[in-house]
């Protein structure tokens, strides 16, 4: 098997974050300039490319967007002093001006509006770090006008087609409430109340009466696409439901006020189409790109030109322009043209029974070659716990498989997408049955003779990092070594130090993970920081010093304690990084060190 250079897996994408101008004349994208992501545009008329920004310090963030009058709004994250700048770029003049500059504030787009193209609706936690308020921002003058001040614990806002916010969701962490108002001058009234095990996620108003589309698992196990009457919160009809899995996403056309398809995950992603023309587009593209998954990334105002992202488990993907009126498909760019699918490895869905009989799904990626048994294995529990692994391209998985390791990913109980009962089975099971599911999976691999029982590593980030440390603490016989990226080491400080904007979710965390006061014994029993004496195998730990969810002094102490117990620990703390390493140099160093570390610890022990 040809060894692919680390740089080919982890370099900054050649082109990414594609968008199309509302008039359909340009595509924009991010592309590296002097190792920093900058904004470029390409004319669809003649193919000419122009660089719009040339930052060499901080990259342009991927959440930029076009306004309806051909301006681009983009921002930069200044990690060193935790500040944020938002810019407006005028396409006619190519001039850029700063529209907003804030420190220690989070800002997100809520809505842009065709009727008022110079005004965007944003959410910002400037007034109170624990609560987001809604503002209208004038992109010409920079004037910021409060629109909805958050008097309670509102976590989500849903505008109608005219940009007026008529639905909101509030949460005290345990219970969520959907509230409705018919217009800006009427107070919100509660229409739906649920505890956190049930969920209603509004999508958009349907254009019929005051009905809205939503994903809901009320009175059912799996999330379904439904239509709800906003006047009284009553479900009017089920539009589509899958018996096998939660519906996880819905494609919605703002122009046509319609739901186009619903999607869910089984072994591979699935779709149910609700619009014949969109189904025709997908079938047309799939005939030209057999075996590829397709996602709509953006569309112009007339909904004739679509930007599509295509990928497989062995291909990081490409971007295409699709023109609906002609059916023409034009390649715009590859995310990473250096990687050849034939040299990468297939991601196979697997399932096994946990020790208590629950069916657990996951994925196994075997290295290329004829050898299918007695392989060195890297177990990769996902972050979460209420998250999941899905079929598709994963650069970490492909890197490890290319180095000869089988990679094992587990959607343990609590993982999303498998219904309410499966998710609820993970509540208060962090350090319990969730970890047992991982252990049972490793035993299954050994029993199937896929894994060499003497060559198993465990590798994870955040909660996956906790799972890795838990594994080597409480099942030292199973693992040779552990790789930890921005790992969670202490549930007490993780919950206590949560940033203010996380407050609405704290009570839910108490219910799902544990309450530091009433469940103190349980949280102490599972937090790795209290078990440095149990770890005997080598560790490698990576951490960004500006990660808002990490307690760096505690992590430093944890490493010191491990070393006192003669644990072989390699520790890399990077000053100007958050959880994910943004610097290409730091990423290359991290994976070079991981490669050496696994090589040393997985090859030598026979």
How far apart CA 299 and CA 19 sit, in angstroms, is: 8
pTM for the model stands at 0.95
3-state SS class at 420: helix
Residue 606 has pLDDT above 70, yes or no: no
CA distance 165 to 158: 6
Question: Residue 364 and residue 99: Cα distance in Å, rounded?
Answer: 47
Backbone phi, psi, residue 193, to 5°: -130, 130
**Alpha carbon separation from 296 to 59, 300, 365, 492 (Å, rounded):** 25, 12, 27, 41
Phi then psi for residue 250, to 5 deg, are -135, 135
Residue pair 120/69 in contact by the 8 Å Cβ criterion: no
DSSP label at residue 188: -
Select from 386, 411, 381 the least CA-distant residue to 396. Answer: 381
CB contact at 8 A, 148 and 124: no
Q: What is the pLDDT of residues 391-447, one digit of tens each?
A: 999 999 999 999 999 999 999 999 999 999 999 999 999 999 999 999 999 999 999
Looking at residue 604, its pLDDT comes to: 53
User: Which residue(s) pair with 279 in the sheet?
Assistant: none
pLDDT digits (tens, 9 = 90+) for 305-333: 999 999 999 999 999 999 999 999 999 99
Can you say whether the dihedral through the CA atoms of 589, 593, 599, 602 is positive or negative? Answer: negative
> What's the rounded mean pLDDT across residues 448-463?
97
Dihedral-angle region of residue 414 (phi above 0 means left; psi in -120 to 50 means alpha; beta otherwise): left
Q: What is the pLDDT of residue 499?
A: 86
- Span 480-486, mean pLDDT? 97
| Residue 290 pLDDT greater than 70, yes or no | yes
Tens digits of residue pLDDT in 152-184 = 789 999 999 889 999 999 988 789 999 999 999
First to last CA, the chain: 22
User: Residue 605 — very low, low, confident or very high, per pLDDT cuts 50/70/90?
Assistant: very low
**Are 223 and 240 spatial neighbours (Cβ–Cβ below 8 Å)?**
no
Torsion of CA 433, 436, 438, 442, to 10 degrees: -160
């Amino acid at each position: 098997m040809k060894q692919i250079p680390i740089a080919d897996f982890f370099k900054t994408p050649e082109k990414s974050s594609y968008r199309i101008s509302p008039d359909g004349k340009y595509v924009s994208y991010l592309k590296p300039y002097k190792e920093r992501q900058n904004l470029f545009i390409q004319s669809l008329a003649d193919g000419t490319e122009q660089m719009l920004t040339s930052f060499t310090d901080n990259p342009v963030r991927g959440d930029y967007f076009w306004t309806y009058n051909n301006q681009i709004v983009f921002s930069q994250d200044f990690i060193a002093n935790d500040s944020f700048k938002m810019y407006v770029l005028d396409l006619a003049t190519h001039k850029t001006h700063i529209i907003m500059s804030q420190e220690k504030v989070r800002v997100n787009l809520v809505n842009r509006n065709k009727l008022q193209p110079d005004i965007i609706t944003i959410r910002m936690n400037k007034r109170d770090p624990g609560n987001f308020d809604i503002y209208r921002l004038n992109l010409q003058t920079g004037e910021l006008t409060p629109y909805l001040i958050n008097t309670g614990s509102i976590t989500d806002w849903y505008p109608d087609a005219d940009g007026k916010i008529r639905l909101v969701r509030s949460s005290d962490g345990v219970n969520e409430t959907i509230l409705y108002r018919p217009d800006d001058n009427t107070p919100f009234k509660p229409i739906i109340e649920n505890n956190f095990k049930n969920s209603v996620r509004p999508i958009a108003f349907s254009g019929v009466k005051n009905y809205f589309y939503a994903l809901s698992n009320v009175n059912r196990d799996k999330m379904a696409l439904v239509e709800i009457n906003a006047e009284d919160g009553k479900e009017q009809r089920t539009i589509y439901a899958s018996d096998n899995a939660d519906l996880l996403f819905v494609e919605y056309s703002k122009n046509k006020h319609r739901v186009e398809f619903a999607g869910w995950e089984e072994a591979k992603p699935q779709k149910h189409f609700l619009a014949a023309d969109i189904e025709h587009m997908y079938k047309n593209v799939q005939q030209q790109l057999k075996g590829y998954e397709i996602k709509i990334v953006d569309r112009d105002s007339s909904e004739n030109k679509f930007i599509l992202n295509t990928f497989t488990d062995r291909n990081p993907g490409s971007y295409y322009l699709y023109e609906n009126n002609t059916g023409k498909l034009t390649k715009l760019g590859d995310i990473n043209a250096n990687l050849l699918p034939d040299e990468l490895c297939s991601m196979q869905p697997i399932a096994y029974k946990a020790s208590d009989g629950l069916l657990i799904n996951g994925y196994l990626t075997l290295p290329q070659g004829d050898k299918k048994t007695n392989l060195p294995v890297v177990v990769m529990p996902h972050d979460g716990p209420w998250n999941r692994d899905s079929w598709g391209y994963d650069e970490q998985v492909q890197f490890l498989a290319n180095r000869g390791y089988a990679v094992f990913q587990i959607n343990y109980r609590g993982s999303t997408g498998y219904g309410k009962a499966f998710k609820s089975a993970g509540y208060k099971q962090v350090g319990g049955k969730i970890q047992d599911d991982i252990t049972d999976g490793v035993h299954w691999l050994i029993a199937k003779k896929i894994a060499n029982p003497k060559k198993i590593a465990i590798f994870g980030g955040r909660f996956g990092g906790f799972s890795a440390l838990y594994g080597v603490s409480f099942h030292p016989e199973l693992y040779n070594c552990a790789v930890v990226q921005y790992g969670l080491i202490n549930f007490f400080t993780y919950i206590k130090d949560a940033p203010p904007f996380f407050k609405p979710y704290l009570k839910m965390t108490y219910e799902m993970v544990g309450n530091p006061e009433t469940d103190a014994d349980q949280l102490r029993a599972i937090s790795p920081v209290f078990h440095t004496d149990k770890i005997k195998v080598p560790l490698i730990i990576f951490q960004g010093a500006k990660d808002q969810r990490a307690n760096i002094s505690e992590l430093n102490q944890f490493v010191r304690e491990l070393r006192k117990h003669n644990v072989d620990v390699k520790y890399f703390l990077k000053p100007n990084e958050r959880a994910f390493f943004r610097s290409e140099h730091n990423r290359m160093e991290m994976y070079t060190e991981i490669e050496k570390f696994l090589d040393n610890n997985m090859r030598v022990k026979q």
